[in-house]
Chain A
């Protein structure tokens, strides 16, 4: 093993090393069945920085939408899911639909700092976009739901959001005669249930994909598709600013959880992983497609503009034990900051209008 801590020949040195290793081990030790040893430095060798073509190749759009084996795509399912998504009768008040907070008019968010739930009460976090949810690895800002099907039911049932018990919802939908044939067509052997409702909504949500943006044309070789400023911004994004360490790939997220140092009391992922320091105040990294249409920004909607977001990252945020090791002052120049914003604006597509469906009666 190359690059081990250098061995000390004197006893004092050994004690110092061993004691410090012991402290590390105690801080991260398991519960008896598992023993965590020391952490050693290793030599990874020096690698040449990847060239621009290599970096660009990591941002190619996928050719197809992934649908899970447990819930494959059918047009009938997506059509039913779209009606359910836009149907305000899914909320107990009959005033809110999924689209109320995840609206195509606002990049599939709501344009507000934080969502508004049942009784017009403000929620604790920003309504995330559903764009490109088909590629999601885990759902909600805090990752508490594993699948898009589970996610679809979450806000419907949540007392603070749509406040609709599922059995009551299925009774209500059962009394709307035009829903029955739609469920029968989408789920011939399963019929009408909360489970099939969730599958239909999730299927529709998976069809909501960001359309081609100038950035995509540039990735595919059209050098004139984006400005020189934006190209420089892409280089800063992947280089000095390290944005791509988390906002990686064509959808600009690896779905990882990071505390980016926002001064909020919300512990986010930490609620579900209480023993892990780095998960305190950590939230899921959002994708950046259509980002220009999705202000205000961050899990708490606390930053109004992309310029303010870049300033936050340049500063590094609140320095606390949970803060991601990737967060640190960046020392970006005014030009680099402007270039980053110019680059992010190339992720905006010419979203075609979304027709609101005629709903069953």
Chain B
């Protein structure tokens, strides 16, 4: 139980840092990213909002920055923090027209 609480605190601390920052938002309504190019500072997070009517599955296959949100239901949002500088392509695995670039700067 103590381990679980400690783990929970670590997790919550991590999340609260993300929650305090005013993240840039990326929307997905109509199977289109609201921005094709987004620039953020290293350590900042983007909030990916599924404001569409169907599920999306955002991911990146960019080497070293791989991630996969899994099926993201309509009416949910997920923060993604980018900790290394570089150009990262984010796609929807389901919808091949949905592609965007995240430029992470130092």
Contacts and interface: CB of A to CB of B under 8 A. Distances in A.
Contacts, number: 141
Interface string B5-29: 1011101101100100000000000
Contacts of A14: 8, 12
Interface in B57-91: 57, 59-60, 64-84, 86, 88
A15 interface: yes
Contacts of B95: 254-256
B100 interface: no
Contacts of A21: 11, 15
A265 interface: no
Interface in B32-58: 45, 49, 51, 53-55, 57
B30 to A, nearest CB: 10
B75 A43 contact: yes
Nearest to A26: B11
A325 B71 contact: yes
A178 interface: no
Interface string A26-42: 01111111111111111
Nearest to B51: A44
A258 interface: yes
Contacts of A15: 4-5, 8
B80 A22 contact: no
B97 A137 contact: yes
Nearest to B88: A34
B4 A19 contact: yes
B96 A256 contact: yes
Contacts of B11: 18, 21-22, 25
B93 A28 contact: no
A254 B96 CA distance: 8
A269 B5 CA distance: 40
B53 A37 contact: no
A39 B93 contact: no
Contacts of B94: 256-258, 278, 282
Contacts of A257: 93-94, 96
Given A21-B15, A28-B67, A40 B76 contact: yes
25 contacts: A1-B77, A19-B7, A21-B15, A22-B7, A22-B8, A27-B70, A28-B70, A30-B80, A31-B64, A31-B65, A33-B83, A33-B86, A34-B65, A34-B84, A34-B88, A36-B78, A36-B80, A37-B78, A38-B78, A38-B79, A254-B95, A255-B97, A273-B93, A275-B66, A278-B70
Interface of B: 4-5, 7-9, 11-12, 14-15, 18, 31, 45, 49, 51, 53-55, 57, 59-60, 64-84, 86, 88, 93-97
Given A14-B12, A37-B81, 16 more contacts: A19-B7, A19-B8, A28-B68, A30-B65, A30-B68, A30-B80, A34-B60, A34-B83, A34-B84, A38-B15, A44-B75, A137-B96, A138-B96, A258-B94, A278-B55, A324-B55
The 9 closest A-B pairs by CB, nearest first: A30-B67, A18-B8, A37-B79, A33-B84, A138-B96, A35-B81, A34-B67, A39-B78, A33-B65
